[in-house]
Amino acid sequence: MPTETGRHFLAIPGPTVIPERVSRAMNRSMVNIYEGPLIDLTHGLFPDLKKIAKTEGDCLMYISNGHGAWDAALFNTISAGDKVLVLESGRFAAGWGVMAEQMGAVVETIPCSTRQGVDPHAVETRLRADTSHEIKAILVVQIDTATGVWNDIEAIGKAIKAVSHPALYMVDCIACFGCVPYDMDAWGVDVTIAACQKGLMTPPGLGFVFANDKAMARRNENGCLSVYWDWLPRADPDMYYKLFCGTAPVNHLFGLREALNMIDEEGLDAVYARHSRLARGVRAAVAQWGEGGPLELNIANPAARSDAVTTILTGDIDAQVLRRLCEDQLSLTLGLGIGLDFNAAFRIGHMGHVNEPMILGTLGTVELALAKMNAPYAPGGVDAAIKAMA
């Protein structure tokens, strides 16, 4: 039987730990969705979300998970037969590409090993060759939750600009929105995707699309086959009922309001610095363990290791056994190694409502599990983390 004493800690990269303030804000009776305080509260969410995306563009909000937001972005910008360039860096951009393919897009992928990120030069070279501008959209993720890679969205934006390619630049920030710096307008991004259940510390159920004027113009040329995903009614502040194409997600809106208040109180820069500090600790621990065994960070280039999630390769230490042991005996849930060998990888999420005791506790517990398994590792991971975080 799993242990039931103390608090179980969920260290998966989304959904993340919900702050009690957010839970309390959500635990309430229904309110009028047509008039009254909910309307003002909802309108107040948009400027705060746009501040995190750093955009003057529109923000469209959906009752959906991240996949829904992917679909929303594609439905408004892609027509059957359009060519879409997917910049692979793990499972997620590829998954978005699969959705585009089902809509009739012709998907071309720039492949990438699971241990690296997108190479901006390769993007520039491919776009330079596309002299007839067949490519209509470029899909990439900022942080790939499967591999733990942190793609350089600014550098890819510069590569697109360098060849003056007119394709829409579309970025999935679901894993790291509100965890790491992002600058949509300055980096030349046309469409940004986010969701509420990772850095935004709210239970799964809200998806966001940010679209600039160029993307909106594409919507107008393209039309939108779906009423539900259509950006236009959702962008019209006078049509409140259309914001959600029906009933508003009342509790989620109250919860998100509270989560955004918490981010505002801490300050975005402090939030980013906290994620960076905690991630440094996780990486230092893994590096130390790896001194005496097969554990290693999945991402080879230190500059491309993400501050929201870390993917750890375990070699011949059975990652499934490690995860099971943590889950059943040590009150810690670790992330599966998705898109990689389940038996030889696991992930630690360090996004959202996390702090030093949570991360040091996670690392100490992983080290305890390694000890219980008699796995080969160099002790002192927690000590290394403390040094890296101090």
Ligand X SMILES: *Cc1c(COP(=O)(O)O)cnc(C)c1O
Binding site for ligand X (CB under 6 A): 14, 65-67, 92, 141, 144-145, 172, 174-175, 195, 204
Tokens representing 50 are 């746009």
Based on CB atoms, which residue is closest to ligand X, 141 or 359? 141
Q: How far is the CB of 179 from ligand X (least distance, A)?
A: 11
How far apart, in whole angstroms, are the C-alpha atoms of residue 2 and residue 12?
Answer: 17
Based on CB atoms, which residue is closest to ligand X, 335 or 381? 335
Number of other residues whose CB lies within 10 A of the CB of residue 240: 16
Based on CB atoms, which residue is closest to ligand X, 9 or 96? 96
Based on CB atoms, which residue is closest to ligand X, 124 or 172? 172
Based on CB atoms, which residue is closest to ligand X, 14 or 352? 14
Q: How far is the CB of 334 from ligand X (least distance, A)?
A: 16
Based on CB atoms, which residue is closest to ligand X, 100 or 382? 100
How far apart, in whole angstroms, are the C-alpha atoms of residue 234 and residue 51?
Answer: 19
How far apart, in whole angstroms, are the C-alpha atoms of residue 127 and residue 43?
Answer: 39
Q: How far is the CB of 29 from ligand X (least distance, A)?
A: 27
Q: How far is the CB of 68 from ligand X (least distance, A)?
A: 7
Q: What is the DSSP string of 102-124?
A: HTT-EEEEE---TTS---HHHHH
How far apart, in whole angstroms, are the C-alpha atoms of residue 319 and residue 210?
Answer: 37
H helix runs in 267-341, sequence order: 268-290, 319-329
Q: How far is the CB of 197 from ligand X (least distance, A)?
A: 6
Q: How far is the CB of 188 from ligand X (least distance, A)?
A: 20
Q: Which residue is nearest to ligand X (CB)?
A: 66
* Residue appearing with tokens 């975080």: 389
Q: How far is the CB of 238 from ligand X (least distance, A)?
A: 30
Per-residue b or e along 211-235, where b marks 16 or more CB atoms closer than 10 Å to that residue's CB: bbeebbebbeebebeeebbbbbebb
How far is CA 149 from each of CA 93, 242, 340, rounded to the nearest angstrom?
Answer: 12, 37, 13
Based on CB atoms, which residue is closest to ligand X, 89 or 365? 89
How far apart, in whole angstroms, are the C-alpha atoms of residue 195 and residue 202?
Answer: 9
- Do 305 and 324 form a contact (C-beta atoms < 8 A)? no
Q: If we measure between CA atoms, which residue out of 347, 353, 321, 352 comes closest to residue 334?
A: 347
| 41 φψ region: left (φ > 0), alpha (ψ -120 to 50), beta (else) | alpha
Based on CB atoms, which residue is closest to ligand X, 174 or 287? 174
Q: How far is the CB of 343 from ligand X (least distance, A)?
A: 22
